[in-house]
Chains A and B, each alone.
Chain A
Amino acid sequence: MNLFDELIILDGAMGTELVKKNAPMGHLPEELNITHPELIKEVHRSYLEKGTKLIYTCSFGANAYKCKGSKYSVPEIITASVKNAREAAEPYGAMVGLSMGTIGDILEPFGNLKFDDAYEMYKEMVVAGEKAGADCLVFETQTDLLEVKAGVLAAKENTHLPIFVTMTFESNGRTFNGTLVEAMAITLTALKVDAIGVNCSLGPDELLPFVKRMREVSDLPLIVKPNAGLPDPATGAYDMGPEEFAEKMVPFLEMGVSMVGGCCGTAPEYIEALVKKAKGFKPVKPERNNKSYLSSGREFVDVTRVHVVGERINPTGKKLFKEALLNHDIDYVKARAMEQAEAGAEILDVNVGLPKIDEEGLMVEVVKELQSVVDLPLQIDSSSAAVIEKALRVYNGKALVNSVNGEEKVLDTILPIAAKYGAAVIGLTMDSDGIPETAEKRVAIAGRIVKKCAEYGIEPKDIYIDCLTLAASVQQKEVRETLNSIREVKARYGVHTVLGVSNISFGLPKREYINTTFLTLAMEAGLDLPIINPNNAAMMGAVDAYHVLWNIDTSGNHYVEKYAAIQEQEKNADKGAAAATVSGELTIGDYIKKGLGDSAAKAVRALLETREPLDIVNNELIPALDRVGAEFEKGVIFLPQLLSSATAAESGFNVIKEYMAAHNAATVSKGKIVLATVKGDVHDIGKNIVKTILENYGYTVIDLGKDVPPERVVEAAREHQVKLVGLSALMTTTVASMEETIKMIRDAGLDCKVMVGGAVLTEEFAMQIGADYYSKDAKQSADIAKLVLGA
């Protein structure tokens, strides 16, 4: 099927036509394929008669989630739907597309649908569809790009059929769940589906700009299936008639889209009018554009200037980061990600490799969690092909893989994976003989990488060559070789470049001078993606200044806006500091009570000059929290105030942690506690509040997150040998899984206490389901921890 050959006319709405024919619309209209096949075929024929060349089967909701409770299996319904469509289409020589809507549940971490389960559900559908004789697979009315990815992978790995994807956008250019038009187009183009587009939610006028934006970033054939204008929410009626609808479709035809049809509110007359208008139009194959795109599900980067890659999600040389990974503290990782995003990073490198850690499992979890809080594209950094593949599977966008090098074996292992998932790759200019000294040799390795990439269908624009930084203190004369290689690989191969910068100053004093200067030289040589610490103001300043001086930041708008504000802030901070000194005499306890984190941290830093860290924790931080906690208990202060004090204490506590890590002392922890929101429950604000308080009392919290299966709680309690487990449930429906979890902890014979909390629980009920303690609020959970683990 060459989708640029002929314009293909699609059908219009199915549901409303069935209602018109008085079909019994029960819980699952797809069952009509089996109970009333003639009705379905009639609707198909009504479109075919008007000129539809590709009809969609009536199988929109025929997935395992929505079919639960049906007396027919998913394959039965799918098979019947294809059979009906085939029989109707045959006399007209038309094709049949298997329609698949959303599963109907939300993927983790916001919902409890697992990626692998979504994959299996789509697999069941596409396999049945291919077997029954569908010509192509159509994912339509989709709202979550990650769910689409599960479907597309299921289709690619289990069938040979062409794959079409249309998503449903709101007036802001995002789907209900936030997927951005460009992010969708970039990701699916990289995944090499056969056509993409839009359907439902809006009328042709509103969808036109989105389809144009898709065309900007993708050269795939486009599909347009709008509603008949906008609906009246009360009556459900749409505001466009057939002629007007067809007229409004003309701009799409002029653009050269490949497939047009209608969605909600469109009937056979609409398609008839559209067929008339479409006469003489042909799809237009677009020119290829030479930009490299990277994307998350929500934002994208087109690499046309310097973009900073944040390097902070990496345990190498970072004691607290290592500890966080070992304690499964995903929030710590998330916080590092948000911090870098705020500091101006545009891509985040993600490395969670540590000896004796389940890197695959952890990487998958971190990728899933990161994409729930940051919008930036990710750079998947691992030396293991298996880890990279697992991460790319669940990554909601087009990622950058870090990395391959000139070794044949590495190239042949990693490149097929990058190609399959449509990722861009970083290629290091080194091989089994190490890093060559001369630019010429490094360029030669880059050449081998580019050639291999071509064999796997990875274009030069999606290759990011890293010419490697060596320490100037050791290999001073090679610094120039790195810069020359950057220039040369770009000129010779048309690739992009990436570079870890700060190695350059290793072993030298005042590293920042060397780093910023080297960064500036590298950018001038053509560096696209510096991998740096975005929290370093001087380095970010160098990038921003470079954009001004090269007339990339036009009129210096970005620079002026950013640095005028910073300058102002600095002035005010000086004034504030002066005022604080004048008022003087405030203790750590006062700062904590007032929720002043920075001041509390400063005070702790000052105390560390004269006192032991543990002394400060036990005699300053904890008593201050106790006082606030007592006030909360008495109802003097309310929850936001308790939390604000706890986070201020946390700032102080972090200073202690950093101090101890820097002085190689054992970590400060009063003991470990496992916390989880039980299976089935995805509301975890209560558990998170408890976590904040417990951490600031000095306990290490192993946070298992929400919707946690009982086995996982048992496993974590055993692995970390905890004496206390805290469980939270918000809904009456999920208290049963709380009870089950407690039972499983008891059955496993673990020597640990269980405290429970949550809106629907009472003391009595907590005892009934076998808990040791009922915690009515966060403060009480700290009291219980003290009781069980000691103060």
Chain B
Amino acid sequence: MRSTLTPNQAAVLFFIFLTGSSIINIPAPLILFSHNGAWISLIATGMFGLLLLIPIVSLARRYPGMTFIQYTSKLMGKPAAIFLGVIFLSYQIQMAAGIVMDIAMFLKSSMMRSTDYSIFIIFSFLAIAITIRVGVGKFVGMFGLLMLSVMVFIVFNVLLSSANFNWHFLLPVVDDGVKPILHGIYFISGFPYGEIVLFSMILPFVKPQSSDRTGRKMALALLLNTASLLMVTLATLLTFGPIAGERKYSMFEVARTIEITEIFQRIEALMGYSLIVASFMKASIVLFTSHITLNHLLGLPHENRQLIFPLALLCAIISISVGIRGEANWNFIVSGINPLWGLAAFVIPIVLVYFVSLLRKKKT
């Protein structure tokens, strides 16, 4: 039986996808690029994300039960669909490999220094592959509660760290002009907002209902995500001020500063848990969609589960090979190549397909 989602589940999955991993990873590079104007970049890119949601949701509504590959094939022909699909898949595989790479790097740099990267990568992909085999309708239920625990811990962390906040760190806002803010917008419009195009592969799983509120619920999830990212970015800025951009895994670092009496200290373990769990969930969603993309490219049905483990293995090999080249290379990929690749593989194709669908609609 095909696993289906309710609109609420789709919105929860969307929030997890946007917030997982970015909530811990985004503040540092964003502040590095946009300095004190990071929050402006975030709000602006949130709006961009909302705009991008329009083509995704309306295409899903126009072609119910069809994925991005399927309606592209219908609108622009099979060769175009395969071409766009391969680029689409390449970025997804890169994303999955990258997210797990992040888990491994975090664990190695902060908690288990003498363990090899590959151990974390292999075990993470094993868990991810097993999760996907269970089916989207089931793992979304598991993710809901996990994400709730992550958000509770993060809010708890922000509340406790507020004792160390220095409000002067917020000023000056646009000291270096508008360029840093634009740089920040460019960076986060790739990760995480550009990535929402991936949901064009998940929306066909949503049960069709008479009053379709999926779009509204997803928009609400996106706004909640922007608010959460804003909260952690501001908390990082307020805690570290000028050096906030240098602090990798910002929330983890913020947690380290907490020391309220003898009881509330050393709570970075909670942030470690949050980072791993949130990244695990996001990587699962990405591997799930990449598996569906691969199925469609090869003309296999949705339900086919045979390619999950081979795909996970491929991603693990990519992760390990990137890991060998070191952290600096990885940082360059994330901040240099990633936004461009995301734009080319995700944003431009969906906008293109959307315009074609609009033109076709006018003609008919």
Are the chains A and B members of one assembly?
no
